[in-house]
Structure 1
Amino acid sequence: MGLPKASRLKSSQDFRQVYESGTKHDSAHLILRALLDSPQNQPTKIGISISQKVSKKAVVRNRIKRQLRAILREILPKMSPGWKIVIIVRSSAAECQFEHFLRELKELLLKAKIVHGN
C-alpha cells in the first residue's frame, strides 16, 4: 500500500521546484530535500527518488521504496502541513535495513523541522 493520493508528489515540475528551491539535509543513506509550500491547509506531499546506481535490480530498488513508504505512512500524521518533500536514496543504501531507514528518516525530518518532538 502506497501513500495516500493527496500526499504524493507526482509532477516533474514539483520535483524540480523542490530540487532548486528546497533545503537539503543528508545522512549516510538518504538525502532529504524539503520546501515549505505557501498554503498551510494543503497536505504534505512526498516523492521518492532512487537511481539505478543504487542497484541495477528493480527488485532491490522497489524493496527500498516499499520500506520508505511504510515508514512515511507511520510518520505522515505527525508532519506539519504544506511541505513538499523529496527523499533521495544514496547508492550505499542497497544493504541498509528497515531500522536504519527508520532512524535516519526521523532524524532528517527533525533536522528539517517538519516533524516536532518524538
Structure 2
Amino acid sequence: MVLPKSMRLQGHRCFDHLYKEGLRYHEPSILLRVVKAESKFYKRKDLKFESKTCRCAIAISSKVSKKAVIRNRLRRLIHQHLREKLYGVSGLSNKWALFSLKPQSSSKEPKQLLKECDRLLLKAGFLP
C-alpha cells in the first residue's frame, strides 16, 4: 500500500525549500527536516486539494545500501509507520517533512529505526 496522495511530498522545488529552510532534528540513523508548507510550491491541481495531514518524503541514498531492494524495503517500512502515526492527526496540514536515512541505518533493526522515527516525530512536535 502506498501513502495516500495527501501525505506524499513531490516536486524538486519542495525538496529544495526543505533543504534550505527546514529545521533539522537528528537521531543516530535518521535526520528529519521540517518546514512550514508553502502554497507557491504546489501544482495547480493540488491547490484545490485540502490536505488532512502533513506531507512527507523519505530520502535514502545509495550510501545506505547499494542494493535497491534494501533501500525500498526501508522506505516502505517508514512509509507504513508514518501512515499509521500521522494520517488524520489534526494540526499538521501546514507542515512538510523530509526523513533522510544516514549510512549506518542499514545495519539497524527495523524496530530500532521506528523508535528513532518516533523520537524525531516527538522532537518536531508531530506527536503529542
Kindly state the Cα deviation for residue 102 of structure 1 after the two structures are TM-superposed: 1.5
Kindly state the Cα deviation for residue 37 of structure 1 after the two structures are TM-superposed: 2.1
Which residue identity is paired with 1:112? A
Equivalences for 1:25-44 in 2 at 5 Å?
25-37=25-37, 42=51, 43-44=53-54
Q: Does 1:82 align with 2:94?
A: yes
Distance change >3 Å, CA 31–CA 102, structure 1 → 2: same
Which structure 1 residue ranges, 5 or more long, are not aligned? none
CA RMSD of aligned residues (A): 1.6
Equivalences for 1:9-88 in 2 at 5 Å?
9-37=9-37, 42=51, 43-77=53-87, 78=89, 80-88=92-100
Which structure 2 residue ranges, 5 or more long, are not aligned? 40-49
Identity %: 31
Which residue identity is paired with 2:75? K
Q: Which moved more, 1:54-63 or 1:79-88?
A: 79-88
Which residue identity is paired with 1:73? R
Q: Partners of 2:64 and 2:126 in 1: how far apart?
A: 26
Q: Partners of 2:16 and 2:127 in 1: how far apart?
A: 23
State the secondary structure of the residue aligned to 2:2: coil
Which residue pairs with 1:113 in the alignment? Answer: 125
**Larger radius of gyration, structure 1 or 2?**
2
Q: Does 1:101 align with 2:121?
A: no
Kindly state the Cα deviation for residue 51 of structure 1 after the two structures are TM-superposed: 0.4
